[in-house]
């Protein structure tokens, strides 16, 4: 963690209540679309982790840098927007 602290490109924020709600909405949307894991062959644990990262970014007002767009494409969601 010390490698990330103090760098302007990274902000360490918790997976808090707002992020948990956002994550639950994203997962529910993916399940409703019938696309729990997406087309990729990744473990469910990795997919859940990606959902958490995207939710944390969304509720903390992240803009859309390339790495966020990359994760959003991997996380099944009807609109994949951030």
Encode pLDDT of 43-72 as tens digits. Answer: 888 888 888 988 998 898 877 666 555 655
Going by C-alpha positions, the residue among 1, 4, 9 that lies closest to residue 66 is 9
**pTM of the predicted protein model:** 0.65
pLDDT confidence of residue 22 = 93
pLDDT confidence of residue 82 = 47
Instruction: Please tell me the distance from the alpha carbon of residue 64 to that of residue 17, in angstroms, as a whole number.
Output: 22
Structure tokens that stand for 8 in this block: 């302007």
Question: Domain limits of the chain?
Answer: 17-74
What's the whole-number mean pLDDT along residues 26-45? 77
Instruction: Say whether pLDDT at 80 is over 50.
Output: no
pLDDT confidence of residue 20 = 96
């Amino acid at each position: 963690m010390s490698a990330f602290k103090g760098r302007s490109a990274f902000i360490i924020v918790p997976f808090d209540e707002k992020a948990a709600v956002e994550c639950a909405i994203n997962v529910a949307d993916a399940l409703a679309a019938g696309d729990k894991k997406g087309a990729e062959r990744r473990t469910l644990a990795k997919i859940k982790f990606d959902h958490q990262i995207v939710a944390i970014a969304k509720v903390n007002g992240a803009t859309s840098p390339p790495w966020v767009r990359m994760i959003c494409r991997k996380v099944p969601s009807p609109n994949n927007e951030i």
